[in-house]
Amino acid sequence: MEARSVDAIPRGPEWQYEPKWDGFRCLLKRDGASIVLQSKAGEDLTRYFPELVEATLWLKATEFTLDGEIVVPQGKSFSFDDLLQRIHPAASRVAKLSKQTPALVLVFDLLATAKDRELAAEPLAKRRAALEAFAKAQFKGHPTFRLSPATTSHAAAKTWLAQAGGGSDGVIAKRLDLPYQAGNREGMQKIKKFRSADCVIGGFRYAKNQLGGKQVVGSLLLGLYDDAGLLHHVGFTSAIKREQKLALTEKLEALIGKPGFTGNAPGGPSRWSTERSAEWCPLKPKLVVEVCYDHFSGDRFRHGTTILRWRPDKAPRQCTLDQLKQKAVDPMKLLG
């Protein structure tokens, strides 16, 4: 179930509001002794969080599917950096970190139980009631699992948005009257203190000046997929820290490969095109980055963007233009 980014918290009796957590979205499935943690991209996260597998086996229920967020507590907040460290190829490293920085699961939906394997087909109002009953019976004495709060109060949601930070970066609004909307953004909206988008790195440009006698990346070229599966160039970011450029350049050069962008590409027909605008290296669509932006129009970010974080948990094909669709504002009304 995906969320559409909007500017304001929707109002009405059909909406439920929840904090938007800054972690790894995860479906947790148990079937007897079999435990699977699945990312939003469909990747298997199970091996990276052995402490969650162990905690799940301690629950009384032996068949269920939960939707939630994996987070790593750090002091009075959640640390996304510590969470990223858990995605490591070495099992010994994962085992060590599972003890040093154990994760939690913040649960906000229940999609299946032994008694109701088709719970996902029910409206959220029924699923939420079932989840609260499940949490009351299962989570007591198991601090690894926490029930994520929910409210139908618009005022409370506004307070959550104002207080966002430390692991919560906004508010999620969900339709109470709809079944689980897997694979689309019709039943869920996200509201942040800032606008952000997950983008594919479709190419890059080298910086004019060398660093340590080597060519290094100067800017990343951002792409989003349309409904036809074409990757369109939508903007760039040059907000790359100096100390990260050498390592990032090596990572990018290993992924150089055509075509990069399959839709609109840098250096395409435009009266603003220059010789330099065509000098870019295409990349295989493997890397995803979340960027902060101030305005998106004409299928482009109107200004440069800021890198918020890398998203190894996100599949490139999930980075679509529809995440930026927002209700159009009537400019005449703004003019009074």
User: What is the Cα–Cα distance from 180 to 109, expressed in whole angstroms?
Assistant: 9
Does residue 20 carry a catalytic annotation? yes
Query: Which residues lie below 8 Å from residue 7, measured CB to CB, with a gap of 6+?
Result: 191, 195, 326
CA-based radius of gyration for the chain: 21
Answer for the pair 190, 25: CB distance below 8 angstroms, yes or no. no
Q: Residue 199 in contact with residue 176, Cβ under 8 Å? A: no
Q: Around Cβ 87, how many Cβ atoms within 10 Å?
A: 16
Residue 61 identity:
A
Number of H helices, E strands in the chain: 7, 19
Kindly report the length of the chain: 336
Largest CA distance in the chain: 65
Residue 25: closest CA among 86, 75, 78, 67 = 67
Residues with a catalytic annotation lie at 20
